[in-house]
Amino acid sequence: MQIAMGSDHRGLELKKRLATSLQAAGHNVVDWGADVTTSVDYPDYASAVAQAVARGDAERGILVCGTGIGMAIAANKVAGVRATIVANEEQAELCRRHNNVNVLCLGEKQAADGLAERLVARWLETPFDGGRHADRVGKITALEGCTPKSCS
Q: Which residues are catalytic?
A: 65, 98
- Length of the chain as a residue count: 152
Alpha carbon distances (Å) from 141 to 18, 25, 80: 29, 31, 7
- Examine residue 79 and say whether the peptide bond preceding it is cis (omega within 30 degrees of 0): no
Whether the CB-CB separation of 95 and 101 falls below 8 Å is answered with yes
Which amino acid makes up residue 85?
Answer: I
**Which run of H or of E encompasses 8?**
none
* CA R_g for the chain: 15
Q: How far apart are CA 123 and CA 59, in angstroms?
A: 13
